[in-house]
Amino acid sequence: MFRNINKILIISPHSDDELFGFPFIDSIKNNFDVLLLENDEKRYKESIKSSKINGFNLKIYKGEKVAKGNFFHKILKQLILDFLIFFDDYDLILSPMIEGGHQDHDTVCFALLYCKKIKEGKAKLFFYSTYRGIEKFPFMYTCGFSKNIPKNTIFKVNMTNKIFFKILKTIFISYKSQYKTWFFLLPALFIAYLKGDMNKLCNAEKLDFKNIKQYVPKMPLYQKYRHLKRDEWLKEIKDYT
């Protein structure tokens, strides 16, 4: 699956999103780039600390910026145009999956899927899970792919204890501004690690682009916490589906 992989890119909507991609980088044993999209000076400085701990090359998105709060669906067209070149420049691209946890994760995933649809580049495209709401209890966090993601698109890689504790180390040393968020997320992260859900990837090649709506939960976590309705997000991507 990961043969002849030399140049790797993790697209990180926010500082700390790259952490969920570490298990897959470790399985390849290559250096990699992280593209940070977020427009937040404080968290940018935290990402620099993470890059020094984990040895990746940190790149900052130079395209159109959005106001603090990060509603990337408002610049979807620009993201698509800027992402297209990556499919020629890299062998492997990793990004958060559409799962209704944070609207920016979903937007970046959609933009990359659309790029893959219209451009035949050399890059392989895979998505990893970050977090989302439990279906029956939308206010509660969980990690791992939902049942909405077809099982034939998901596969596992080996994940060592060393990588998991490296993720924890990075959280506590680098991302101090996000302690409150991680306090609520860590229990779900530990459960996902024990269940083997943190080392699962989704193969974009096998995803049906026409069924984007079915990947978005009926009650996304961002609808509860960030006051963005599911239908509003879907409206932003309507012209591309």
pLDDT at 46: 95
Q: Which numeric CATH code is attached to 8-240?
A: 3.40.50
Tell me, what's the pLDDT at 159? 85
pLDDT of residue 81: 95
Stretch (H or E) spanning 200? strand 200-203
Identify whether the C-beta of residue 145 lies closer than 8 Å to the C-beta of residue 99.
yes
- Backbone phi, then psi, for 39, in 5-degree steps? -105, 75
Phi, psi dihedrals of residue 76, rounded to the nearest 5° = -55, -45
Can you tell me whether residue 101 is helix, strand or coil?
A: coil
pLDDT number for residue 71: 82
User: How many angstroms separate the CA atoms of 38 and 26, rounded?
Assistant: 25
Per-residue pLDDT of the chain (241 residues; tens, 9 = 90+): 667 788 999 999 999 999 999 888 876 666 799 999 987 889 999 999 999 999 999 999 987 666 555 689 989 999 999 999 999 999 999 999 999 999 999 999 999 999 999 998 999 999 999 999 987 777 789 999 998 899 999 999 888 888 999 999 999 999 999 999 999 999 999 999 999 999 999 999 999 888 889 999 998 999 988 889 999 999 999 999 8
Which residues are CB-contacts of 164 (< 8 A; sequence separation ≥ 6)?
23, 193, 198
3-state SS class at 33: strand
Which phi and psi (to 5°) does residue 132 adopt? -160, 180
Crossing angle of the two packed helices 76-83 and 103-118, in degrees rounded to 10 = 50
pTM above 0.85, yes or no: yes
User: According to the model, what pLDDT value does residue 68 have?
Assistant: 55
DSSP letter (8 states) at residue 52: H
pLDDT of residue 60: 92
What is the bridge-based pairing of β-strands 57-60 and 92-96? unpaired
- The reported pLDDT for the residue numbered 29 is 64
Q: Where are the domains of the chain?
A: 8-240
> What is the predicted pLDDT for the residue at 1?
64
3-state secondary structure of 194: helix
